[in-house]
Amino acid sequence: MIKPKQDYINLTERQRDLLMKLYKSSKSITVLTVPKSQSELARELGITRQALSIHLRKFKEEGLIRTGRGFIDLTEKALKVLKIRSANAFVFIKIQPQLRQIAYEKIKKLSADRLYRVTGEIDLIAIVDQSMLDSFLRSVSKVEGVISTSAHIVIESLKNVGGHMA
């Protein structure tokens, strides 16, 4: 088996320690990426690219967005300002045994953030943004072999290990 390229990065012990410190000091946040260029957005809003840039700079200073070459991300703080509650939803999916492989392939193409094959009473756990839950459930219910789904929305995180969900 060939290892992915990132496994070959040569770091000193100090760099590894620093990278681990950054990981342990980080926190998981919700970020939504805007799939449009700033020029496109300016055109759609009927303003100049320069005017848009002024607004984006203000949003960035307030921690509402992150920007970089070719991306604009809305942060969790922006969702709070807009009074949009976005949380993870866990969807438990049970599939007919003889149709599992075909169903897995179809479900992998849907809008789940993460998808896990598990043991026990269910076959898959899909993690979906709450805003996409209805759409995901409609789509997954049409997949041949899906027997049942059960959706659960996260209301509170009770434990957070190293800044990341355990």
Extract the residue ranges of the chain whose pLDDT is less than 70. 1-8, 26-31, 84-85, 160-166
Strands (E) located in the chain: 32-34, 65-68, 71-74, 88-95, 114-117, 124-129, 146-153, 160-161, 164-165
Does residue 144 sit within a domain? yes
Q: Which CATH number covers residue 73? A: 1.10.10.10
Query: What's the predicted TM-score (pTM) here?
Result: 0.54
pLDDT in tens, 128-156: 988 788 889 999 999 999 999 999 988 77
Instruction: Clarify whether residues 100 and 148 are in a common domain.
Output: yes
Measure the CA–CA gap between 111 and 73, rounded to whole angstroms. Answer: 18
Domain boundary residue, one of 61, 81, 101: 81
The closest of 80, 129, 125 to 107, measured between CA atoms, is 125
Instruction: Clarify whether residues 94 and 129 are in a common domain.
Output: yes
Whether the Cβ atoms of residue 128 and residue 136 lie closer than 8 Å to each other: yes
Q: For residue 112, what are the domain limits?
A: 88-153
Split into its structural domains, the chain has a count of 2
Q: What is the pLDDT of residue 160?
A: 64
Instruction: Clarify whether residues 113 and 59 are in a common domain.
Output: no
Whether the Cβ atoms of residue 60 and residue 67 lie closer than 8 Å to each other: yes
